[in-house]
Amino acid sequence: MIQRYKPCREPGGTWTVDDVLTGRPAEMGSRTIVGMNQHDAEELADLLNGLNAQRQEAKS
């Protein structure tokens, strides 16, 4: 399965979680996921990918 969310390093050295389908930073509610450290961005991307996989399985 394609990972929808991936952590990406920003030019300033902080990290964002990108939504591969939209090509934009991911959002949680009304908050854009930017300005994080690498560890947090990687963990959040893993969490979002897990939730996305569960949603896809529920649709099947």
Q: Give me the residue spans of the domains in the chain.
A: 5-55
Q: Which of the two residues, 2 and 30, has the higher pLDDT score?
A: 30
Q: Which residues of 30-58 are buried (b: 16+ CB within 10 A; e: fewer)?
A: eeebbebeeeebeebbeebbeebeeeeee
pTM score: 0.89
With 90 as the cut, is the pLDDT of residue 59 above it? no
Q: What percent of the residues of the chain are helix, what percent strand, and what percent coil, each to the nearest 5?
A: 35, 30, 35
| pLDDT reported for residue 1 | 66
With 70 as the cut, is the pLDDT of residue 30 above it? yes
pLDDT digits (tens, 9 = 90+) for 31-55: 999 999 999 999 999 999 999 999 9
